[in-house]
A = this chain, B = another copy of it.
Amino acid sequence: MKGVLATIGALAALGGHPVWAQSTGECVPSALNIPEAKYPCLYADHRALFRVVAPDAQKVRVRIGPGFDMIKGPDGIWSVTTTPLVVGFHYYSLQIDGAVIADPSTQTYFGSGWQNSAIEVRADDAAFYEHREVPHGRVSQQLYHSKVTGQWRRAFVYTPPDYDSATRKSYPVLYLLHGWGEDETGWYRQGHVDDILDNLIAAKKATPMIVVMDNLNAVKPGESAALFAARGLVPPPSDAPPVPPSRGAPPAAAGRGAGPGAADRGAGGPLGRPTYTEMMLTDLVPMIERTYRVRPGRENRAMAGLSMGGAQTFATALTNLDKFAYIGGFSGNCGGFGRGNEAPDMKTVCGGAFADPTAFNAKVKVLFLGIGSAEGPGTRSFSETLTNTGVRNVYFESSGTAHEWLTWRRAFNDFAPRLFK
């Protein structure tokens, strides 16, 4: 008996326990979980343990990275430990007997057009976007009525720490856009833009500024919203009266995809959506300049965005250089951001905005191109082509990250200190 116990002890010491064999150290709940939820949790090597209650299900899968089939335990709870995840913020979903749904254990985040679950693998450099003991700005909900779309719209507005007390001071403004399938909540919830700026301002690295986080979806009555709609919206019954085409027919596929392909991600195309530009210049900018203490003029106005929001930024700002002096695209621009590496024609790309580099450089104080190192060489080669053509620009690469929020937090952290100097 003593020998058996000793053997068990030795096995345990060597990690021989049947369930915890694969676990080294404590599994720490993801910071994005709902209060008190212990799963999903993360090991020090970035493997994640997911657990889901689905006692009568036949097949349960967690859709993160390559996807992982879960295994049902005797208690009716399904579990899986993944391979190590990349650092940063990841949307994910569960698939339970064919239904793609959010994990009820996490807070939800609007991405891919619906309320996704998400998990955060803390990065070593996380301090730059974490909440610290520094003076804090405020993020406010700002509704406004759009003449262009005929609808009420919502933006979130960051005002810097001294905004409420320095009541005679006015500020420059950055207009900041989310990506495909996201909304105006993305930059302050997934992006931590308030904490990044609070920390930069406290360190005297960034000029205090107002940041306007708007919703990229703007369609006029009758315009199709198809590009902005979620994948996998539930279609109407097949014997129901057909939906008039003007209201936008839902996609035929019944599954809910993880997101668009690379080609879709920068959608909006080289020239973006003219309706957004019109709405922004007609409704949003005047409302902001009427409502907040804003410093006037193009040298106090910047625009940036991620992915589809980067494409929209280039489309809007490059055609309105009398209004914007600072332009940023994070994993999205007008000339190449993904896997492609063909050199574009600098005379015609981006609507010919770079055809006269000297004139361009005289107007644009910062042209910023950010990308994750795992996203491919397209943005780097676009930046190099711009440089070779004589167009001054800044290239930023986030090490080891993909088309995800850690790339965009890091890009913003590099971009913001360059503004309004």
Query: Which residues of chain A have a CB within 8 Å of any CB of chain B?
Result: 19-20, 34-39, 51-60, 73-77, 79, 94, 96-102, 104-108, 110, 113-115, 131, 133, 136, 138-143, 145, 152, 164, 167, 188, 194, 217, 225, 228-230, 232-240, 248, 250, 254-256, 291-292
Residues of B within 8 A of A19 (CB): 237, 239-240
Residues of B within 8 A of A233 (CB): 36-38, 105
Best-buried of A101, A145, A152, A225 by chain B (most CB within 10 Å): A101
A53 touches B97 (CB 8 A): no
B36 touches A250 (CB 8 A): yes
A53 touches B142 (CB 8 A): no
Pick the contact of A101: B59, B74, B96, B140 (CB < 8 A). B96
Residues of B within 8 A of A35 (CB): 113, 217, 225, 228-230
Residues of B within 8 A of A59 (CB): 56
Top 9 A-B pairs ranked by shortest CB distance? A54-B99, A56-B98, A55-B98, A36-B229, A57-B97, A56-B97, A140-B140, A167-B167, A138-B140
* Residue contacts A-B, CB under 8 angstroms, 22 given: A19-B237, A20-B240, A38-B234, A38-B250, A39-B234, A39-B236, A51-B237, A55-B99, A60-B99, A74-B238, A75-B238, A77-B237, A96-B96, A100-B104, A104-B115, A104-B232, A108-B115, A131-B152, A133-B145, A136-B143, A138-B142, A167-B167
CA of A52 to CA of B100, assembled, Å: 10
CA of A53 to CA of B232, assembled, Å: 9
Residues of B within 8 A of A37 (CB): 230, 233-234
Q: Report the minimal beta-carbon distance from A154 to chain B, rounded to whole angstroms.
A: 10
Q: Report the minimal beta-carbon distance from A266 to chain B, rounded to whole angstroms.
A: 20
B55 touches A254 (CB 8 A): yes
CA of A104 to CA of B99, assembled, Å: 10
Residues of B within 8 A of A55 (CB): 97-99, 254
> Assuming A36-B233, A96-B96, A138-B141, what are 10 further A-B pairs, CB within 8 angstroms?
A19-B237, A35-B113, A36-B229, A51-B234, A53-B256, A56-B59, A57-B57, A58-B58, A102-B102, A131-B143
Residues of B within 8 A of A138 (CB): 140-142
Residues of B within 8 A of A291 (CB): 164
CA of A188 to CA of B225, assembled, Å: 28
Residues of B within 8 A of A104 (CB): 100-102, 114-115, 232, 256
B76 touches A254 (CB 8 A): yes
CA of A136 to CA of B287, assembled, Å: 13
Q: Report the minimal beta-carbon distance from A215 to chain B, rounded to whole angstroms.
A: 9
A141 touches B142 (CB 8 A): no
Pick the contact of A115: B38, B73, B102 (CB < 8 A). B102
Residues of B within 8 A of A114 (CB): 34, 104-105
Q: Report the minimal beta-carbon distance from A288 to chain B, rounded to whole angstroms.
A: 12
- Residue on B nearest A239 in the bound complex, by CB: B19
Q: Report the minimal beta-carbon distance from A260 to chain B, rounded to whole angstroms.
A: 15
CA of A237 to CA of B60, assembled, Å: 17
CA of A102 to CA of B55, assembled, Å: 17
CA of A60 to CA of B57, assembled, Å: 11
Knowing A54-B98, A57-B99, A99-B96 are in contact, say whether A115-B113 is a contact too (CB < 8 A).
no
CA of A107 to CA of B110, assembled, Å: 9
B34 touches A77 (CB 8 A): no
